[in-house]
Amino acid sequence: MTTRTRKIVIAGVMGAVSVFLGATHLGFIPWIAGAALTIMHVPVIIGAVLEGPLVGVVIGLIFGGFSFIQAAIAPTGPADVWFTNPLVSIAPRLLIGPVAWLAYRAFRRWFDAPSFAIAGVAGSLANTALVLGVIEFFTYVKPDNRFTIKLPWQAAGTIAVTNGLPEAVLAALLTFAVVASYKRVKTRRTGSSI
Amino acid sequence: MPVPLIEIRDLSYVYNRGTRLAVCALEQISVEVSAGEVVGILGANGSGKSTLLCHMNGLFKPQTGVVRVDGRSLADRSTDIRAVRRRVGLVFQNPEDQVFERFAGDDVAFGPRSLGLPREEVRRRVKEAMEAVGLPFAFKDRLTEELSRGQKRRIALAGILALEPGLLVLDEPTANLDPMGRRDLIASLKGWVLGPAPRGPGRARERAVVIVSHAIDDIVELADRVYLLAAGKIVAEGPVREVLARRAVLAKNGIQTPFCASFMAELANRLKSPTVDAMTIDEAASAVAELLKGNNRLQHPMGKARPSGNG
Amino acid sequence: MGKDTMGERTDPAAKTRREGRLEFDLFDGIRIGRYSEVHAPLHALDARVKLLLGVLLIAGAAASQGISSQLLILCAVTAGFPAARVRLSEGFRPLIPVLPFVFALALLQLFAVPQFRADARVLWEWGLLKISTRGLAAGVLLVTRFTAIVAGMSLLSAITTASDLASGIEHLLRPLQKMGVPAHEFSLVLGISIRFVPVLTEEASRLMKAQASRGADFGYHKTNFVKKMRTMLPLLVPLFLTSLRRAQNLVEAMESRCYTGGKGRTYMRRPKAHPADLFALACAACVVGGAVVLSVFGADARMWRWLGKVL
């Protein structure tokens, strides 16, 4: 089985899952204060863990591209104002895959299955940090407000904690559940819990 | 007269009602299932089977007409839909796709756990459910991804049985199964309707099964009564053998007669002798065996020869 | 395959209220953008040109600094709607849900922009809050730029199908193939994604019904975070697993059709550029060029000065 064909197909399929999650309410899990936790980035992480960093970049590109198109065509919330800037919606997402993959490889030496969860956490935090970072960086560097408006540091910090951390937990859980099942990995749990 | 387990009266449903794309899926459907019965709903693809199915446990609300489970209307605000879904166990096509836990036992336990039952009760239910589908309790520790399709399907079915429904509704239960898998599944279903051991003669009065399918052989083997569904309408109903003998009605609605029936009819034709009413392979085999023993006239396995002709 | 269109995200609550169904089947209307079936001059443009127009739009709006530039782009887009037979009310519809946020942010701009520039005049002061001309300019710029982009993308999505998107990207990237960029592979990935989304829609719909039928509760009224996660897993994990399984099948299918990569592949249909395409591109280029010129030559500064004199 050619790995190349496989990579192409996994990238396509996971990209579709990401788009699907973003376009329906399934991709957003309601959280406090009306905001929602997103899981659109999880297909990127899973694709990267299964097939490597390059596939992760491609899926990230699809995720970011869709996020951008959605913000431009059918914006739904305040975040979409920033997401019309491709530097905010696309560029950071390209790195989610490689970061997740690196985390997975690094920890695989010591644990087997938990490394999936760690990859999930790493990828999710990368998404949160990079997106918020670009928004902050952009507005900080250009005082005459080229493209976006200033998001105060405090707001970014709050979002990072109240949204970013739970999202990381969710991503870890989902990545673990899917990849451990798919790869039929043996973990410490050797049987059902009943 | 006991209340039927499920009663559907004059149900109609139109998709995209009021728009240009309106499609009438169901028209004035009336179906009734009482405890102890196995009822078949026979329909080709596109006949409205799936829509009807979704009405049976409240996934869809009827647009016109009423659906009653244990006498309570599902449209009633006071009806607890979750309780209805425990009472009516709906098994969709290819149920193995819905298995999500890593270990088989956990997946079966999902339902009872969602109900908040104590651990011992969950364990008991899982054990019983797995035995009902013919899997040993030790299977609970197997990885779901390692199971074959047939095994996974049985786990999925067990997951529903663990909720201890009174009415089991199945959509194309044997789709994509190999003959052995099919045989095991049918045996499990027959066993389930009889109720928990010890089993007395006849069926337990509490359980019922509805099979919605286009596989006529499944319905012949399992059902007592059948409704014929075509283009959203019930075009025939009655005891299985009677309905399936009406070959003209079947043909008009795109349903193939059971292989055995056509075979026996053709045989009778060639031998210029009366047809025998054989619906299953076993009956046909007995009839042909009789024939070969030297009786040139075809005998019904029960001893009655019937004149040939179209129903 | 589902509808070959791009459409907007539907509002699930309204849809279910209209149809009387419970919370499932809200995926029926999943589309991205708003392709209109009418055939108007702009629909006939080459797929690559449509994409290039999009790129020009974004680049133009991003590169130009002045409000006058954005207004120019906005005017051009508005003129484009009749050419695509899209009503202006439909075209500007996507803006409505976000307008409150945009205005809120613009308001923030008003107060938050630091007054570095010497020519910033303070228009109004109240304690710590100051509105300067710069702030006002920044706020209006934000609103107009956002409007221009959204209206432009709305127009483009009205004339672009999903096929156009996939084929446009593939052919645009083809020259890059010679430079070693795997354009063919990437557009194949995109093609697979686009065609797979409707499959996922159907799959998710089935999964939701199946899991609800066996005890999963999808109500969002659960406040417990842990509980929320537990309800999402039965839906999400099988979704991923079946996607991966289908991916496997697709790989095998591709290979059994002798797919070995992009080298030497030919196309059944090769896109050809017509005069109309070049004309459209030229118009767009002029508009964007004009916008940049206006921005560079400080048309905005002149405008404010004039306004300052008038007020």
| Average pLDDT value for residue range A130-139 | 78
Query: Of the ranges A16-20, A113-117, C60-64, C111-115, which one carries the lowest mean pLDDT score?
Result: C111-115
Q: What are the CB-based long-range contacts (under 8 Å, 24+) for C274-282?
A: C274/C46, C276/C41, C276/C44, C276/C45, C277/C45, C277/C46, C277/C49, C280/C42, C280/C45, C280/C49, C280/C53, C281/C49, C281/C52, C281/C53
**Chain A residues touching residue B114 (CB < 8 angstroms):** none
Chain B residues whose beta carbon lies within 8 Å of the beta carbon of residue A189: 102-103
CB contact under 8 A, A8 and C98: no
The C-alpha of A166 sits at a distance from chain B's nearest C-alpha, in angstroms, of 22
Put simply, whether B105 touches A (Cβ < 8 Å) is: yes
* Higher-pLDDT residue of B167, C168: B167
- Section B267-283 average pLDDT: 78
Residue A93 has pLDDT above 80, yes or no: yes
Window from B130-134, C103-107, C168-172 with minimum mean pLDDT: C103-107
Burial of C12 (0-12, 13-18, 19+ CB in 10 A): middle
Answer yes or no: do B141 and A177 touch at CB < 8 A: no
The answer to whether residue C223 sits within a structural domain is: no
Residue C253 lies inside a defined structural domain of this protein: no
Asked if the Cβ–Cβ distance from C209 to B59 is below 8 Å, we say yes
Give a yes or no: residue C90 inside a domain. yes
Confidence of residue C16 (pLDDT cuts 50, 70, 90): very low
B21-25, B149-153, C25-29: which has the minimum mean pLDDT? Answer: C25-29
Q: Which domain holds residue C24?
A: 12-199+266-310
Give the pLDDT score at C5: 29
pLDDT band at A133 (very low <50, low <70, confident <90, very high): confident
Question: Between B227 and B287, whose confidence is greater?
Answer: B227
What does the pLDDT read at residue C25? 41
Q: By percentage, how much of chain C surpasses pLDDT 90?
A: 5
In this predicted structure, what is the pLDDT of residue C224? 65
| Contact predicate C285/C56, CB 8 Å | yes
pLDDT at C19 over 60: no
**Which of chain B's residues have a Cβ under 8 Å away from the Cβ of C238?**
97-100
Residue in chain B closest to C23 (alpha carbons) equals: B59
pLDDT band per the 50, 70, 90 thresholds, residue A77: low
∠ CA C151-C156-C157, nearest 5°, is 100
Q: What is the DSSP string of chain A?
A: --HHHHHHHHHHHHHHHHHHHHHSGGGEEE-GGG-EEE-TTHHHHHHHHHH-HHHHHHHHHHHHHHHHHHHHHS--STHHHHHTSHHHHTTGGGGHHHHHHHHHHHHHTT-SSHHHHHHHHHHHHHHHHHHHHHHHHHHHH-TT-SSS----HHHHHHHIIIIIHHHHHHHHHHHHHHHHHHTT---S--S---
CA B269, CA B224: separation in Å to the nearest integer? 28
More confident residue, A114 or A46: A46
Facing residue for B59 by CB, picked from C18, C22, C207 = C22
Record: contact B105-A177, CB cut-off 8 A? no
Does residue B236 sit in the same domain as residue B297? no
- Whether residue C215 is predicted with pLDDT greater than 90 in this model: the reply is no
Asked if residue B269 and residue B171 are part of one domain, the reply reads: no
Q: Work out whether strand B208-213 and strand B225-230 pair parallel, antiparallel, or are unpaired.
A: unpaired
Lowest mean per-residue pLDDT among A168-177, B120-129, C27-36, C150-159: C27-36
State the average pLDDT over residues C124-132: 63
How confident is the model over B244-255, as a mean pLDDT?
80
More confident residue, C100 or C263: C100
Q: Using CB atoms within 10 A of its CB, is residue B128 exposed (0-12), middle (13-18) or buried (19+)?
A: middle
- Topology of domain A3-182, CATH: Arp2/3 complex 21 kDa subunit ARPC3 (1.10.1760)
Average pLDDT across chain C, whole number: 73
Residue C17 is assigned to a structural domain of this protein:
yes
Q: Evaluate if residue B310 carries a pLDDT over 60.
A: no
Looking at the structure, tell me whether residues B250 and B171 fall in a common domain: yes
**For residues C74 and C76, what is the distance between their CA atoms, to the nearest angstrom?**
5
Do B105 and A194 lie within an 8 Å CB cutoff? Answer: yes
Is the Cβ of A76 closer than 8 Å to some Cβ of chain B?
A: no
Q: Tell me, yes or no, whether B107 lies in a domain.
A: no
* pLDDT bracket for residue C20 (50, 70, 90): very low
Q: Do B97 and C242 touch (CB under 8 A)?
A: yes
* Mean pLDDT, residues A25-49: 83
| Domains in chain A: boundaries | 3-182
B276 touches chain A (CB under 8 A): no
> For A193, which residue in chain B has the nearest alpha carbon?
B106
**What residues of C are in contact with residue A149 (Cβ under 8 Å)?**
105, 108-109, 112, 138, 142
Between B276 and A108, name the one with better pLDDT. Answer: A108
Same domain, B75 and B171: yes
Contacts of C214 in chain B (CB under 8 A): 85, 89-90, 98, 110-111, 159-160, 163
With residues binned 3-state (H G I as helix, E B as strand, rest as coil), the percentages for chain B, rounded to 5, are: 40, 20, 40
Q: What is the count of structural domains for chain B? A: 2
Q: Provide the percentage of residues in chain B whose pLDDT is more than 70.
A: 90
Are B89 and C238 in contact (CB < 8 Å)? Answer: no
pLDDT at A15 over 90: yes
How many folded domains does chain C comprise? 1
Q: For residue B217, is pLDDT > 80?
A: yes
Could you tell me if residue C50 is inside a domain?
yes
**In whole numbers, what is the pLDDT of chain A averaged over residues?**
83
Residue of A1, A5, A38, A140 best to disrupt the C interface, most CBs of C under 10 A: A5
pLDDT tens column, B82-112:
889 889 999 999 999 999 998 999 999 998 9
Cis peptide leading into residue B179 (ω within 30°): no
User: Hey, which of A5-14, A125-134, C198-207 has the most confident mean pLDDT?
Assistant: A5-14
**pLDDT at B154 exceeding the cut of 80:** yes
Q: Is residue C138 part of a domain?
A: yes
10 Å CB burial of residue B59 (0-12, 13-18, 19+) is buried
Q: Which letter does DSSP use for residue B46 in this model?
A: T
CB contact under 8 A, B110 and C214: yes
The pLDDT confidence band at residue B308, using thresholds 50, 70 and 90, is very low
Neighbours of chain A (3+ CB pairs under 8 A): B, C
Q: What CA–CA distance (Å, rounded) separates B302 from B295? A: 15
Q: Do the chains contact at A23 and C9, CB–CB below 8 Å?
A: yes
Helix axes A96-108, A53-73, angle to 10 degrees: 150
pLDDT at C109: 65
pLDDT tens per residue, range B50-85: 899 999 988 888 889 999 999 889 888 888 888 898
* Domain range for B53: 1-36+43-79+167-178+208-254
In tens, the pLDDT along B7-60 reads 999 999 998 777 777 888 899 999 999 988 899 999 888 888 889 999 998 888
C21 vs B contacts (CB less than 8 Å):
59-61
Decide if B203 is inside a domain: no
* Cβ-based contacts of A17 with chain C (< 8 Å): 200, 239-240, 243
Separation in Å, CA A177 to CA A185, B260, C237: 10, 47, 7
Size of interface A-C (CB pairs under 8 A): 191
Q: Is B127 part of a structural domain of the chain?
A: no
Q: Which of A25, A69, A80 sits opposite C32 (nearest CB)?
A: A69
Which residues of chain C does A150 touch, with a Cβ-Cβ cutoff of 8 Å?
108, 112
| Highest mean pLDDT pick, A42-56, C106-120, C145-159 | A42-56
At residue B303, the pLDDT reads: 52
Contact A66 C32 (CB under 8 A): yes
Q: What's the pLDDT tens digit per position in C258-293?
A: 777 666 667 776 777 778 888 888 888 888 888 888
Query: Could you tell me which residue, B88 or A84, shows the higher pLDDT?
Result: B88
C62, containing H or E segment: helix C47-63
Give residue B153's pLDDT band: very low, low, confident or very high (50, 70, 90). very high
C44 or C123, greater pLDDT:
C44
Is A177 touching B (CB cutoff 8 A)?
A: yes
Share of chain A above pLDDT 70, in %: 85
**Token digits of residue A25:** 């309410």
Inter-chain CB proximity C216 and B110 less than 8 Å: yes
More confident residue, A1 or C129: C129
Given pLDDT bands bounded at 50, 70 and 90, which one contains residue C17? very low
**One domain for residues B215 and B277:** no
Same domain for B173 and B279, yes or no, is no
B112 touches chain A (CB under 8 A): no
What is residue C133's predicted lDDT score, i.e. its pLDDT? 65
Please give the span between the terminal C-alpha atoms of chain A, in angstroms, as a whole number. 39
CA separation for the pair B183, C286 (Å, rounded): 72
Contact residues on chain B for A180, CB-CB shorter than 8 A: 102
B284 occurs within a structural domain? yes
Contact by Cβ (8 Å): B22, B63: no
Last residue in a domain, options B254, B269, B288: B254
pLDDT in tens, A136-165: 776 544 444 444 455 666 777 888 888 888
Q: What is the pLDDT of residue B159?
A: 94
Contact between C33 and A69 under an 8 Å Cβ cutoff? The reply is: yes
Task: Indicate if B282 and B244 belong to the same structural domain.
Answer: no
